[in-house]
Structure 1
Amino acid sequence: MWFWGSAGFASGAFKDAVSHHGSSKQDFFTEGHLQDLFDALHAFDTIDDRNRDAAVEILRQIAELLVWGERHKNEAFFDIFCEQNILSYFVDIVSQPRVANAVKVQLLQTLSILVQNTHRKTAIYYLFSNNYINTLLRTPYDFSNEELVAWYVSFIKGLSLLVNHDTVKLFLNKRAPSFPVFSEAVKFFVHRDSMVRTHVRTVTLSIFKIREPVVEEFLVRHSAFFSHIACYLRAQWAERCRGLRACRRLSPRYHASTTTSTSSRSAASASPCGRDTPGTAACVAALKSGFSECEEFLFYIQDIFGIGVEAYNTLLVERLLLYTYLPLLVGCLCRGAPRETTVRRFACKTIRQSAACSQDSSLQTQRSRDVIVDSPCASTTEVVGSQFVRRRGSHPHLSTYFSICI
């Protein structure tokens, strides 16, 4: 096969580099073979559709060799990686406009595997120094490619697990205008792929756990993310309300209950239409899936509160109250039509579940739930709103949010 690159590449460097792949391990896992791969990669003038297969294979073998070196405590492999300044070359590759997505996917996969298997402090410091990683994260990618998104977020997740008290200064300092490991990840917070969303939540929790003033100051200063949490939860609950209404409309019991004549109700229940339709089953299945997502997200919120940073908890409580609980759940209780008992029960039950998410099972929490459920709607809204304004800075936990209703 002929690969186009620089003049002498196809017939020379690439063939020499990949010819070890089918040979014995003694020939493949050598420093010389790794050097050949680096030489072959540098031999490309540009990487485009003509030589992307060659580039992908070279990147794949580089990852395999570097991981092998880390696992067998052979520091020479990573030393060559550093001496050749390959990380800088990776930045150049992803910056080229004509580089195919397949090459970028393989590069992100190579870096993800390398990050996940790097444990030596010197290697970690090299990877994170010189701002190469931040540049890679800020580079524009074609995020319409699902595979690329998956590996991009996986790469960030691996990085976030290595950000700690010692390494955070390599990603963020007081002069830095951004914190890409966090800010680039949260762009996929509401991605349609559940695995991507899970990775992003892992990233945010890892960052929240870093008890460094510079991190806390950055997150408080860029507090829009806490609004995203509240708005996503509101959107999920609103969708469940719509689903409940749709299922109720599809249910034959609903149509029977809207018929004033007793004979008409009997006819509806006796007819074939009285049985649940495939549409009803699909609606119920969608509801179950949606409720599972809501439950997982509540546990995520509980994890944030459990970290115990008062500044984060205060922000989150405020945004949940302003953007989720008052406009949606309390709103359902106040504005819902009298016959929408299903939606109203959902609102009450969701408030109870939210209170249960808190590990604080104090009497105050129970009393607050009783007030929300049993009080007249107008007075409930008035009490919640006025108490929030008066005590907005004094409730660092979710349970305290419910206690403000007292």
Structure 2
Amino acid sequence: MWRTVWRSIDRFSLQHFKYVINELRKIKVVDQHNRELVIDLLQTIVEIVTYGDRQDPFIFECFMEYQVLAEFVRILKISGNSKIEAPLLQYLSIMIQNMGSEHAIYYCLSNDYINTIIAHQYDFDGGDLAPYYVSFLRAVSGKINRDTLCLLVRVNRDVVTSFPLYTEILKFAQHGEKMIQTAVHALTLNIFNVSDDMVYQFVTSPPASQYFSDLVYSLREKCLRLDVLVQATDETCTKQRRKEILLESDEIVDDLYYFKDILSVGEPRLSKVVTQDLLNLLVFPILIPLLQLRQSNGFYVSAVTTLYIVSYLLVVVGGKNIVNAVAGVILYPYMTPRRDAAKEEITNSSSDTHFFLNLLRDMEIMEIVGSESQKDENINGNHICGNDDVRLERNGILMYVFSDNHSLLLASLLLLLILAESKDLDYTSDSMIGLSDIQDPMVFYALLKVLASQPPLCALIQWHTGWFMQKLLNFQVMTLGEQHLHLFNTSYQQSCERLQKELDGCWFDCILDTMKDEWENCETALKEPLKSKSPSFALELAVCKQSTDGNTNSSDTAWEIMVDVVKVFILHLQLKALISKGELLEKPLLDSADSGTSNSLDIASASFGSEVYLGSGIPCRIAFSNAGIRDIYMIPAARGLSGKVILAEKHPFRSQRGVVIAIAPLAGLRPTIDEDHPTWLHLWIREFDPRSKARKSRGCNSHVSNSAVDGRWTLGFPSAKGCEIARLLILEETYKQRSFIKSLLAPLLQKNDPGNLCNEQAGRKL
């Protein structure tokens, strides 16, 4: 008893520390009988050492004197099947992570104790040991620097022969758990960021350098899995399918950011190995068959997925070597007319990034485009393309820019724009034959054809098409012909007609508010730089093919369609302003003062439980499931932008007043008299509340199974004539509200005269 009290009071003393160490030394074998005791001793030692590192230097001197790390190694070796490894590694991780003094860190990493613990033969099958082991390795890597890294490697004649911390963590590079993958990336980057020449030589030489190739092969497998999802034959744009594509693409992007972090280290040997593997094993195998430069060698990815991957590679990883290599492949078919100039450039230039062939030769990756196409290319640079017939079949990237497939058109155009705006591109403007072609008005014409398609394509395609048109208008000086303007006018009128249709729909009362909200979103999107454009939109376009047109009785789906129509209409307004004035259109003033009588003011401010005037109300009855049949008054009223139908019960003491028991918007009521019961009036009530959800722009309006179910009221009137009067009154008030909103939108819905637009555009250059 006294011993227990003494230990609890003085548990961080030097005497108690020595006692615990001696107790640990007495352990001759670790089994199920003493496992808990050993764990308690290890935990106590770590707690005292962590305390002593900050508070008592004598404790750490004792730690060194008693060779406590050697005891940890001994316990590990005598543990047998006691499963002591996980807590031992956990406590070691805690101790190393919390060490602050350089002296303590240097000691722990010396004497080869840590290497022995790392290299111990663990059984990772069927248990949870792997996360503890990886966390331990990561904790060790967090303490390395130029002074301590040498303590973890074994060297013979200035050559690293063994590096357990690095080689052991690489065994978990393809582990299925995300946490472990993240730890592997963090640990390797910790090592790469320590500027040690011998370590760089080790990690970039076989067999350690195989890690980078394995990374790219793993990335290839993810690209294949993504392509399977993108190319699935089912026509519906299901929520689950989009989720799977998003998850798979996120993993690919994570890998690309890891490659970027490696290249950001800035070590030439490391950058060269990683760049070679990315180009040899990923970029060229998917790009060269895509551009018909050579047949696929067993690794085939569809065009849209290829363009997505390469675009993201340029956006995330980038770098001179990768950007110029990709540009060289893409522009290869357009270099043939300039082969003499290219040959002279290669001969005279000392740079390694001026032209495609010179670049690949200097990067030692020439074989990727040479071995199977000797008839077209000469490795020594004598011919860039010696077979004109072959070149005629190689339309290159423009084959997709002018494709009828809208996903390919936009994805390939994004890739070219990324290259055109890249600061890492070393090609001169005169040699950019492929990139100059995207400035051709024919590309703008192709985009206009997409925008003016009939029936209209989904809003996502229209939106991205308009975004690219805006970028091209700002990309260079361009003059649009009458065909361009006529096509745009057609598209603009179609957009106006779709908005007019929505003014007759069930959400016409929300169009103005939606336009105010989406106007700012549109301006922000059109002004955003190209580098912020995510290439993932190409995958969305590939799987979302549903048109924005279509009949639906679901108010939530109708809402999404209305929002999409408004987005596209605003986009057309902005494009019209850009074409005619060269600048975005300012937000229009859509607010207007409401007008109405005092009675309508009373109705407009009504809420559940409030009192309203019953003068314009029509007596009827309604049956509620929980309250039975009730005598009420139905009051439809429109005042300016507001329109609602109110159900009120007569006030028990005030004959001309009623108490509101239910309210619904006039929009979407669709009053219908029952065919079998002419005194019954059916009203559809919107149950979906757009304010309760963050509705983002969608290109496909998928009808999800859990969509809101609209409600329905059935009102009973004393006579068929009274029922008809009620129906007409609702329609009249609805017409008043709709007409008021149309009057506010009229200035924006004026017909576009292509002649006037042509005259406006003639006064300036685009």
1:117 pairs, out of 77, 98, 110, with 98
Structure 2 letter corresponding to 1:78: F
For the 8 Å contact 1:27–1:33, the answer to whether it is kept is yes
Counterpart amino acid of 1:83? E
CA contact (8 A) 2:325 2:359 kept: no
* Amino acid in structure 2 at the alignment position of 1:35: K
Q: Which residue of 1 aligns with 2:482?
A: none
Assess if the C-alpha contact under 8 Å between 1:37 and 1:62 holds in 2.
yes
Q: Contact conserved, 2:28 with 2:78, CA < 8 A, in 1? A: no
Give the SS at the match of 2:89: helix
Per the alignment, residue 312 of structure 2 pairs with 353
Residue correspondence of structure 1 range 331-370 to structure 2 within 5 A: 331=289, 334=292, 343-358=302-317, 365=323
Question: What letter corresponds to residue 40 of structure 2 in structure 1?
Answer: E
Cα 1:368–1:185 change in 2 (3 A) is: closer
Aligned to 2:216: 230
- Kindly state the Cα deviation for residue 66 of structure 1 after the two structures are TM-superposed: 1.6
DSSP 3-state at the match of 1:200: helix
Q: Distance in 2 between matches of 1:319 and 1:252?
A: 36
Alignment pair present for 1:179 and 2:163: yes
Structure with higher helix content: 1
- Asked whether the 8 Å contact 2:31–2:82 carries over to 1, the reply is yes
Specify the alignment match of 1:67 in structure 2: 50
Q: Does 1:162 align with 2:162?
A: no
Q: Which has the larger radius of gyration?
A: 2
> For the structure 1 residues 113 and 193, does the alpha-carbon distance in structure 2 shift closer, same or farther, using more than 3 Å as the test?
same
The residue identity in structure 1 corresponding to 2:23 is A
- Classify the secondary structure of the residue corresponding to 1:293: helix
Q: 1:220-245 deviations in whole A, cap 9, x for unaligned? A: 22321221222122122122112223
Q: Who is 1:319 aligned against?
A: 277
Q: Tell me, yes or no, if structure 1 residue 88 matches structure 2 residue 67.
A: no
1:202 lines up with 2:173 in the alignment: no
Partner of 1:271: none
CA separation in 2, counterparts of 1:375 and 1:211?
A: 38
- Determine if the alignment matches structure 1 residue 139 to structure 2 residue 133: no
- Cα offset, 1:55, TM superposition: 1.2
* Equivalent position SS for 2:155: coil
Match of 1:128 in 2: 109
RMSD: 3.6
Task: Name the counterpart of 1:392.
Answer: 363
Deviations 1:187-246 (A, max 9, x none): 11111111111111111111111112211121222321221222122122122112223x
Structure 1: distance between partners of 2:276 and 2:46 = 45
1:285 counterpart = 2:243: yes
Equivalent pair of 1:20/1:33 in contact (CA under 8 Å): no
Out of 34, 58, 79, the residue aligned to residue 51 of structure 1 is: 34
The DSSP-based 3-state class of the residue aligned with 1:184 is helix
* Residues 133 and 77 of structure 1, relative CA distance in 2, 3 Å threshold: same
Cα distance in 2 for partners of 1:162, 1:313 equals 24
| In structure 1, C-alpha distance between the alignment counterparts of 2:178 and 2:98, rounded to whole Å | 25
Does 2:135 align with 1:151?
Answer: no
How many angstroms does 1:80 deviate by? 2.0
Measured after TM superposition, the shift of residue 99 of structure 1 is 4.0
- Asked if structure 1 preserves the Cα contact closer than 8 Å seen for 2:185 and 2:258, the reply is yes
By relative contact order (CA 8 Å, sep 6+), the higher-ranking structure is 1
User: Secondary structure, in 3 states, of the residue corresponding to 2:52?
Assistant: helix
Deviation at 1:83, TM superposition (A): 1.7
Q: Choose 104-113 or 84-93, whichever is displaced more.
A: 84-93
Distance change in 2, residues 1:228/1:361 (3 Å): closer
Q: With structure 2 as the length reference, what TM-score do the two structures score?
A: 0.41
Over 3 Å counting, the alpha-carbon distance change for 1:129 and 1:350 in structure 2 is same
CA displacement, residues 131-160 of structure 1 (integer Å, 9 cap, x when unaligned): 111111111111125532111111111111
Look up the match of 1:307: 265
Once the two structures are superposed, residues 41-66 of structure 1 have per-residue CA deviations (whole angstroms, 9 ceiling, x without a partner) of: 12222001221111112212222222
For 1:371-404, what per-residue CA distance to the aligned partner results, in whole angstroms no more than 9, with x for missing partners? 6567779x9xxxx996665231599xx9899879
Matching residue of 1:108: 89
Residue 368 and residue 42 in structure 1: after superposition, are their counterparts in 2 closer, same or farther (change >3 A)?
closer
Cα distance in 2 for residues equivalent to 1:129 and 1:286: 47
1:262 maps to which residue? Answer: none
Q: Matched residues in 2 for 1:35 and 1:147: separation?
A: 32
Aligned to 1:4: none
1:331–1:235 distance in 2 versus 1, CA, 3 Å:
farther
% identical aligned pairs: 25
Rate the CA distance shift 1:242–1:394 in 2: closer, same or farther, 3 A. closer
1:12-37: CA deviations, max 9, x gaps? xxx999x469x64x422222222222
Question: What is the rounded CA distance, in whole Å, between the counterparts of 1:96 and 1:283 in structure 2?
Answer: 51
Q: Secondary structure at the match of 1:305?
A: helix
Does the 8 Å contact 2:319/2:424 carry over to 1? no
Task: Report the Cα distance in structure 2 between the residues aligned to 1:332 and 1:145, rounded to whole angstroms.
Answer: 44
Please give the secondary structure, in 2, of the residue aligned with 1:201: helix
Secondary structure, in 3 states, of the residue corresponding to 2:29?
coil
AA aligned opposite 1:349: Y
In structure 2, how many angstroms separate the alpha carbons of the residues matched to 1:401 and 1:152?
41
Distance in 2 of aligned mates of 1:393 and 1:32: 64
Give SS of 1:216's match: helix
Tell me the TM-score normalized by structure 1.
Answer: 0.75
Instruction: Indicate if the aligned counterparts of 1:111 and 1:155 stay in contact, CA closer than 8 A.
Output: yes
Greater strand share, structure number: 2
CA separation of 1:243 and 1:20: change in aligned 2, threshold 3 A: farther
> Does structure 2 conserve the Cα–Cα contact (< 8 Å) formed by 1:91 and 1:132?
yes
Shift of 1:281: 3.9
Asked if the contact 1:234/1:328 (under 8 Å) is kept, the reply is: no
1:116 Cα deviation after fit: 0.6
Aligned length: 347
Q: Which residue does the alignment assign to 1:10? A: none
Distance in 1, Cα, partners of 2:320 & 2:268 = 19
C-alpha spacing 1:400/1:96, structure 2 compared with 1 (3 Å):
farther
State the partner residue of 2:23: 40
For residue 177 of structure 1, give the secondary structure of its aligned residue in structure 2.
strand
Residues 48 and 100 of structure 1 are in contact (CA less than 8 Å); yes or no, is this contact kept in structure 2?
yes
Q: 2: distance between equivalents of 1:81 and 1:308?
A: 39
For the structure 1 residues 131 and 370, does the alpha-carbon distance in structure 2 shift closer, same or farther, using more than 3 Å as the test?
Answer: closer
CA contact (8 A) 1:112 1:154 kept: yes
Against the structure 1 CA distance between its residues 304 and 402, is the aligned structure 2 distance closer, same or farther, given a 3 Å change threshold? farther
Code of the aligned partner of 2:204: V
Q: Quote the Cα distance in structure 1 between the aligned partners of 2:287 and 2:58.
A: 60
Q: Indicate the SS of the match to 1:28.
A: coil
Rate the CA distance shift 1:361–1:310 in 2: closer, same or farther, 3 A. closer
